[in-house]
Chain A
Amino acid sequence: MTEPTTMPVRRSGALNMHVRLDERGIDLELHVHPGEVVALLGANGAGKTTMLSLISGLLRPDTGRISLDENVLVDVDRRVWVPAHQRAVVLLAQQALLFPHLTAAANVAFGPRSKGVSRKGAKAEAARWLAAVDATEFAERRPVQLSGGQAQRIAIARALAADPALLLLDEPMAALDVAGAPALRQLLRKVLRQTGRTALLVTHDLVDALSLADRVIVLDAGRIVEDGPTRTVLTHPRSPFAARIAGVNLVTGLSDSHGLLTSDGTRVHGIVDPTCLAGQRAVAVFSPAAVAVHLTPPTGSPRNQIAITLTELEPRGELIRIHAAGTLGGTDGLIADITAAAAADLDLVPGKPVYYAVKATEVKIYPSRQR
C-alpha cells in the first residue's frame, strides 16, 4: 500500500449553490462542507448530470449563484462567469476518457502541465499519483492497451493530479464489470478519505452511497427532495426513490392519530413517530420482509391488507422477492420477500391475485420532508 503522505491533503472545497435552469426544470440549492462526500441519487433524467455540468462550467444557469470556497464561479445577477478551466472543479465521467494520443503518464501529467508546472515537475507529479492509485506499471501504456478498470484508475490519478478543490464523479463505476467495480470503489474510498477532498458522486448504486458518501441527496424532477446523512436517508427514506434504493416500501399521505391517511382514503395502520403532528404530510415505511402473502383475505389482529396482482417473482438468495401491481393509497410497486418454500406452497405465478398483509407494529410512520 502507498504511504498516505504521497497524497497531499486539501482542506477546502466548500460549495454553495442556488441556481435555476428553467428549460430543464432545474432549481437546486445545495451547500457542501469542505471534505464532505455527497452522493447524488435520482432516477434517470432527474437532473444529476445537469447539476454536475452547471458546477463544472459546461452549462450556464438562467439565474443564481455558485461559489466554491471564496471564489464566485457563477453569479448571473452580477454577470460573473468563471470558465471551466479556472474553476478547480474536475469531472470524472463514466468512461475514463483518457486522451487516446497520450500515454497514461502523460494523461496524468496533463493537469499539472496545463497549470504551467515544468515538464520535469509534471512528470514527477504524475509518477506520484500513478503510485497512489497502484498503476505505476501502466505509466508508458496507451489508453487502448488498458482495460476499463485500469483506464478508470488512471483517470482518477489524472483528476487528482489537477489538484481540484471539488471532484465531480459521474457514475465512475457504472461502466465497469462486477470484478472491476469493487476494486475501484475501494480505491476511491482510500483517496477520498486520505486527501480530504470534497466530492459529489452521482450513482445508482446503494453500495457506493454507503461506502463512499457522508451524505445523500435525492434529486427528483430537477429538485432536491431528500438531503441527509447516508444512514438516515437509507433507514428513514422520505421519497419514493430513496425507498426504492433502500429496498423498502414507502406510502405517502397525511398523518392522523392512528396512522396514515392516503390520498385515496385508505388508512395505513402503524406506529406513529412522536414528532408526527396530525394532519401533517407523512410517510409509512415497511420492509418487504414484514409483508405476509395470503391467497384469501386474512383475518385476525388489526392488519393492513392490500389486494394485489403478482407481476414478477425474483429470486434473491434464499428468498423470493415478489413484485406486484395494485396500489396502496396511490403507491404501486409494493414488494414482499418470502421464503422459496412459502412461494411454492402458495403456488405463486405472475398474474395471480393475492393479498399482502402487514402487521401494524411493522409499519413506521414519520413526517416527510415539507415541500
Chain B
Amino acid sequence: MATPTTVWARHRKGRAAVGSGLPGWVFLPAAVGGVFIVLPLLAMLARVQWSSFLALITSESSVAALWLSLKTSTASTILCVVLGAPMALVLARASFPGLRLARSVVLLPLVLPPVVGGIALIYTYGRQGLLGNTLQFLGLKIAFSTTAVIIAQTFVALPFLVLSLEGSLRTAGRRYEAIAATLGARPTTVLRRVTIPLVLPGLISGAVLAFARALGEFGATLTFAGSLQGTTRTLPLEIYLQRETDPDAAVALSLVLVVVAVLIVLATRGQGDGSR
C-alpha cells in the first residue's frame, strides 16, 4: 500500500511532466544534440598532456599569441560598440526607405565565409585596394599589421552586436521613451537616461558575443592580416600552426580558448540575470 508521501511524490512528478507539455520522444534527439556538443570537448580534454601543460602555454610564441588575441579582441569589441550601437538604434528606431535592405546588408558578414571577407578587406584597405591610395597618402599601412587584425575581427563580429542590441531595443519598445519625451527630456537625454539603461543587458551580451567571435576569428585574419608572430598571429592562428609541428601545444592552447569561452558565457549569464 502506498503511503501518502509516495502518492504525493508520484503526483508531483506527474504534474511536472505535464507542465513541460512536451512529447517524451523530444528529449532523445535533444540529448543526442547535447552529447554532440560536449563529446568533442571531452575528447580534447582527454588528450591534454597535463605534465607539460604549463610549459606549453607559457612558451614565448603562445604568450605572444594569447596576448595579441586579447588586445585585438578588446579593441575590436570597443569598435563594435562604438559603431554597432548607433547602427542598432537606427535599425530599430528610425524609418526610412531602404531600411530592410540596410538590415540585410548588416547581416552579410554573418553569412559570408570569413576567407571571402578577408579577400574583400584586402581589396578595400590593401595597397592595391579601394582606399589604398588614400591610406598610403596618409602614411598608413594597414594590410598585414595588427590594425588589419582588428579590422578583420570587427568586420566579422559587428553583426553579432547589432543583432543582439536591435533585438533588445525592439523588446524594450518605445513606450518608456515616449513617456520620457513628454516629461520634457530631449532625444539625447532620453537615449542616455532611458534607452541605454533599459537595453544595457542586451548591449553587454552583444559585446560579449562580439568579443567571443573576435577571439575565435581565423579565416579573415589569415587572409587579410597574415600570420606574423607578435603582430598578426592570434591564438587561433597559433593553434593551427602548432597542430602541424606540436599537437600537444595545439591541444593545450585550445583548452585555454575553451576556458576563456566558458568564462565569457558564465559572465554574461550572471550579467543578464543580475540586471533583470
Contact = CB atoms under 8 A, between A and B. Distances in A.
A84 B181 CA distance: 6
A85 B194 contact: no
Contacts of B189: 114
A110 B180 contact: yes
Contacts of B67: none
Contacts of B190: 85
Nearest to B196: A101
B182 A114 contact: no
B183 A90 contact: yes
Contact of A114 (B176, B178, B184): B184
B181 A99 contact: no
Nearest to B193: A110
B184 A85 contact: yes
Interface in A48-63: 56-58
A89 B182 contact: yes
Interface string B189-202: 11001100110100
B95 to A, nearest CB: 13
A203 to B, nearest CB: 19
B186 interface: yes
Contacts of A58: 178, 181-182
Contacts of B176: 97, 99
A110 to B, nearest CB: 6
A115 interface: yes
B85 to A, nearest CB: 17
B79 interface: no
Interface string A160-191: 00101000100000000000000000000000
B-side binding surface: helix, strand, loop or mixed? Answer: helix
Contact of B182 (A84, A95, A115): A84
Given A100-B198, A101-B197, A114-B189, A162 B184 contact: yes
A84 B180 CA distance: 9
A19 interface: no
B187 interface: yes
A88 B185 CA distance: 11
A58 B179 CA distance: 10
B194 A84 contact: no
Interface string A88-109: 1111010101011100000000
A311 to B, nearest CB: 38
Contacts of A25: none
Contacts of B175: 93, 95, 97
A91 B179 contact: yes
A111 B183 CA distance: 5
Count chain A CB atoms within 10 A of each CB in B176, B178, B197 and give the residue with the most.
B178
A90 B182 CA distance: 5
A20 B190 CA distance: 29
B185 A85 contact: yes
Contacts of A91: 178-179, 182
A109 to B, nearest CB: 10
A110 B182 contact: no
A114 B183 contact: yes
A162 B186 CA distance: 13
Interface in B155-191: 175-176, 178-187, 189-190
Interface of A: 56-58, 83-91, 93, 95, 97, 99-101, 110-111, 113-115, 158-159, 162, 164, 168
Given A84-B181, A114-B184, 9 more contacts: A56-B178, A84-B182, A90-B183, A91-B182, A97-B176, A99-B176, A114-B185, A158-B183, A159-B183
Q: Which 10 A-B pairs have the closest CB atoms?
A: A114-B185, A84-B181, A101-B197, A111-B183, A114-B184, A162-B183, A91-B182, A85-B181, A90-B182, A97-B179
